[in-house]
Amino acid sequence: MDGREFLADEFEKHRVHLRAVAYRMLGSLAEADDAVQESWFRLSRSDAGAIENLGGWLTTVVGRVCLDMLRSRTARREDPLEERLPDPVIGPASGLDPEHEALMADSVGLALLVVLQSLTPAERLAFVLHDTFGIPFDDIAPIVGRSPAAARQLASRARRRVRGAAPTPERDPARQREVVQAFQAAAQGGDFEALVAVLDPDVVLRADIGAAELTVVHGAEAVAGQALLFRGVGGKARPALVNGAAGVVGVAAGRARSVLSFTVVNGRIAAIDILADPARLASLDLTALD
């Protein structure tokens, strides 16, 4: 095995971790793969022999790549982050495969990713690298072009916003599924009162139907009304894990028509995220549900 093959093998050992970092930063699976590939290009052009901690080096490199991608989005004023849901990671209701387990470590649900999208690129990087992956602020500082103390402040500011906006979800998958099934039964039965009862009073529903159009509905009664209005639309409901949480995929003619992710808090649904953008749904991999 020559040096490049050895380096490629060492890189592959870190690929799943790097993809998890990039997904949290970008909210896009395709862009996360692009960022990981770019980190490989940078490694292959570097003096690998001088790198003492390859995993740490690669993590900071993929973080820098993602930061550049986020800043480029903002500069072009394309794909406003607040106008689309992050890409969902879909797995069978029985459990995720090992790669998806790694991608979903630390409960990176869609509701959390939506909040992360509201942060500035530098805040997001500092929070993701430090709070999720334990990268020291001394290593984060050069990436964002600030002092370690300033990088710490970025993460602290992001942490406050996340805690204030992203509810802490129920951890028990069986309990999550029980609450989601109660929601489905009430919706299918047209039972408005039962729907309101299973929803948190401050529940938020976000629906991404494409064309940079994100519909947001607040409050149990308003969300219950939407659930009744659109029940039956989106095909046959198949239980699934969406970003590690209980969810539903609407399937018709073998194709996904909708993906619903539920955030369950204290026995009630605190957030519902719906992806119904036909173009994005067409690119989803549903083989895990077969």
Q: Give pLDDT tens digits for 216-275.
A: 999 999 999 999 877 765 568 889 989 888 899 988 877 888 999 999 999 999 999 999
pLDDT band (50, 70, 90) for residue 206: very high
Q: Tokens standing for 181?
A: 């099934």
Contact 124, 25 (CB under 8 A): yes
pLDDT band (50, 70, 90) for residue 2: low
Which tens digits make up the pLDDT trace of 73-100? 876 655 444 468 899 988 888 765 665 5
Q: Is 150 left (phi over 0), alpha (psi -120 to 50) or beta?
A: alpha
pTM: predicted TM-score of the whole model, two decimal places: 0.85
CB burial of 162-194 (b: ≥16 within 10 Å; e: otherwise) equals: beeebbebbeebeebbbbbebbbebbeeeeeeb
d(CA 133, CA 106): 10
- Cα–Cα distances (Å) from 8 to 5, 19, 47, 65, 180, in that order, read 5, 16, 14, 19, 43
Contact 261, 243 (CB under 8 A): yes
Top-confidence residue, 229 or 197: 197
Which tens digits make up the pLDDT trace of 92-148? 887 656 655 655 555 567 888 888 888 999 999 999 999 988 899 999 999 999 999
d(CA 229, CA 227): 5
